Structure 1
Amino acid sequence: MVKNGWVFAALGLMLAACGGPARKEAEITPAWTTLDGAPPLVIAHRGASGYLPEHTLEAYGLAIEQGADVIEPDLVFTKDGVLVARHDRYLSTTTDVAAHPEFADRKKPNADPNDAPREDWWIEDFTLEEVKTLRAVQPFPGRSKDYDGLYEIPTFDDVLALVSARADEIERPVGVYPETKHPGYFQSIGMDFEQPLLAALDDFEAGPVFIQSFEPDILKRLRGKADAKLVQLVYKETPGAGSNIPLTEIVKYADGVGPSKFLLLGEGGESTSFVKDAHAQGLMVHAWTFRDDQKNPAIEAHLTKQGLISFVVSDSFQGLPEDIMMEYFYMTSAGVDGMFTDFPDTAVGFRKAWTK
């Protein structure tokens, strides 16, 4: 027997349409098994980063065009204390900094003792004026490099202004989901996220706001001060392990949890109870990261065991990438409340196809 609420709901509707045994209304499982029963959010991970260089206004704008509900800017500080959108403190992989001879002498070892050793150019050594001379590049192998060198590095204020303007244009809400990167390290060098983050968000009204971090301290300090949902990011520390921070601890200061998708499915394709357990604590679940160009073999193994492969690869999702459809099907069936994706159009396409 397949224990899947969506499948039961679909079967119930088909039986009713065909004159089969009627089911009582109370027995019909809602189409979405999210915490609030609403469709899962499509969260544009670093913008539409599967298509354009990540964390650029162009990538965020494309994500909104593709139907993303929320865009995600990772935030770091410049030397003069301005929040800018970059995934990492180091700049070599996502910008053309190495092609700037005027910055050659800025390359140095990582100053954060709690981070991985690395020789690189570090965002906190550059003023905003200097950062604005850099251009973004595509860091992922196999993705288009056609747009390298074209786009600036945006400030957080730039991002918020873009989202607000686009939300007005398309007449629908668009939210933001900033991540505070390395807040402990930045605080140790005199740059605290709390005040500038809250100040930047104070007038933002275009859509919902979520603030996420891997470090609990910043979320605990923001508790009660931000008109935003707070989300603790978690991952597996070792294969087969559970969340690196227990849900019973997270619920004390956060509204949701952002798990690596590998916490939701075992290496052999077995289901886990992570989403169910989080929902039992009243925590929403926003899983990361979904990528059309990265296959997850455990998903296919799971759906094969459950006898659902033929359904997922059927005409229901015609024209959409088969591997990622399997992943979206499993994760949304598990009840995730949101999905971080590099390819927002595919996630939106899945959600529309399933709704139909």
Structure 2
Amino acid sequence: MTRRIPQDVSPTDPSVRPLLIGHRGAPGYRPEHTASSYRLAFAMGADAVEPDVVVTADGVLVIRHENEISGTTDVADHPEFADRRTTKRVDGERLTGWFTEDFTWAELATLRCRERIPALRPGSAEHDDTEPILRLTDLLELVGEASAEQGRAIGVVLEVKHATYFAGIGRDPAPLVERDLREAGWASGEHPLWIESFEQTVLAELRGRGVRAVFVYLLEAAGSPADLVARDGHLAQTYADALTPAGLDVLARDVDGISVDKQLLLQDAGPHLVDEAHRRGLRVFTWTCRPENAFLDRRFRRSGGAAAFGDYRAEWARIAETGLDGVFVDHPDLGAETFRS
């Protein structure tokens, strides 16, 4: 049975564990970051939802997983935007397509969202081209409405994407995030809010601006963060360095929690990593729990092809056994059945 948060308990309460986070809403069923995806996550009992924010040409924060939007919108079908297609290097990766920073909000509002991985999620793709892009302010309003309707505090785990890149082109996201949160009443601890990024620099800037939130550092299984690469080049600290005992000591002074690639928790040392982080007062999240074979550890894949569900319950049970504090899920109903049973 799904454990619902009592009306007088916030999702930020450590006793609510693991926090069930609707990753981009409920994208196992609807195109990610759409209003219907988020509403479905609320209905399925998610404790919080995770929007990713990127920046427009006129300084509006819109909710997209990446600033390159050809795979998640119908922008390629708009002849009036054909000349906006270009090639850029974002966080060291060469990308060709259409980028949010080359559009005003009014222009982006004419686009419609699409399923990012239609071959794996054809049911979600049936809802393509029916919903517009959301702004951060739109999502905060949706969360407020759902919290009031359901009589429970629903949280937001806000991911700031490509902060160093955007700052480098004159569109620093930090003041924009602060602006939108303050105007919506989310910056002073009124609502359960986490802010996360793969770059610590933007987290420190937002904390310095007085935004009250739980600050979470996202860590890949390999590589180095873009902000440190921009500053230190090939000498930049790696994500692996940050997860050593010495690295965790430093993180405990700068952030409130870490969010790691689930593969790190599925290794034999996974429980030890969680224990070491907890000893230092750090909360531990993991991303992303998905049931399809394509996303499962090889040990838990089953027959039927990439889109078929494997033994996700066994994989997620192993993750739960580490004692972590939060999980990102694409199917909040399956997450509730597994992590809250």
Q: TM-score range by the shorter chain?
A: 0.7 to 0.9
Partners of 2:146 and 2:266 in 1: CA distance: 36
- Is contact 1:108-1:121 (8 Å) kept? yes
Percent identity between matched residues is 37
Partners of 1:242 and 1:298 in 2: CA distance: 23
Match of 2:94 in 1: 117
Match of 1:350 in 2: 338
- Is contact 1:52-1:147 (8 Å) kept? yes
Do structure 1's residue 54 and structure 2's residue 25 form an aligned pair? no
- Is contact 2:291-2:310 (8 Å) kept? no
Match of 1:258 in 2: 259
Match of 1:229 in 2: 214
**CA deviation after TM superposition for structure 1 residue 201, in Å:** 1.8
Change (3 A) 1:110 1:300: same
Match of 1:286 in 2: 285
Moved over 4 A (4+): 269-272, 298-301
Equivalent residue pairs, number? 296
Partners of 1:242 and 1:188 in 2: CA distance: 22
Q: Point out the more displaced range, 206-215 or 226-235.
A: 206-215
Secondary structure of the residue aligned to 1:178 is strand
Q: Point out the more displaced range, 67-76 or 218-227.
A: 218-227
**CA deviation after TM superposition for structure 1 residue 352, in Å:** 3.5
**CA deviation after TM superposition for structure 1 residue 298, in Å:** 5.5
Partners of 2:126 and 2:288 in 1: CA distance: 24
Partners of 2:168 and 2:239 in 1: CA distance: 30
Q: 2:197 aligns with which of 213, 216, 219?
A: 213
Encode CA deviations 1:209-237: one digit per residue, 9 max, x unaligned.
00000011111222252110000000221
Change (3 A) 1:330 1:154: same
Partners of 1:166 and 1:117 in 2: CA distance: 39
- Is contact 2:259-2:286 (8 Å) kept? yes
Partners of 1:271 and 1:40 in 2: CA distance: 16
One-letter amino acid of the structure 2 residue matched with residue 59 of structure 1: S
**CA deviation after TM superposition for structure 1 residue 244, in Å:** 5.0
* TM-score, structure 1 normalization: 0.78
Match of 2:126 in 1: 146
Encode CA deviations 1:168-222: one digit per residue, 9 max, x unaligned.
0111110001111000111111212222212222203774100000011111222
- Is contact 2:297-2:315 (8 Å) kept? no
Change (3 A) 1:232 1:271: closer
Match of 2:57 in 1: 79
Change (3 A) 1:242 1:100: closer
- Is contact 2:27-2:37 (8 Å) kept? yes
Secondary structure of the residue aligned to 2:240 is coil
Aligned alpha-carbon RMSD (Å):
2.2
Partners of 2:190 and 2:79 in 1: CA distance: 40
- Is contact 2:219-2:239 (8 Å) kept? no
Partners of 2:299 and 2:239 in 1: CA distance: 18
**CA deviation after TM superposition for structure 1 residue 248, in Å:** 2.2
Encode CA deviations 1:220-263: one digit per residue, 9 max, x unaligned.
2222521100000002217xx97352322221211000000111
* TM-score, structure 2 normalization: 0.81
**CA deviation after TM superposition for structure 1 residue 270, in Å:** 6.3
Q: 2:319 aligns with which of 324, 327, 331?
A: 331
Match of 1:175 in 2: 155
Match of 1:93 in 2: 71
Partners of 1:271 and 1:163 in 2: CA distance: 33
Encode CA deviations 1:274-308: one digit per residue, 9 max, x unaligned.
1111111110001000001135345659xxxxxxx
- Is contact 2:320-2:339 (8 Å) kept? no
Partners of 1:103 and 1:76 in 2: CA distance: 19
Change (3 A) 1:244 1:292: farther
Q: 2:41 aligns with which of 56, 63, 66?
A: 63
Higher CA-based Rg: 1
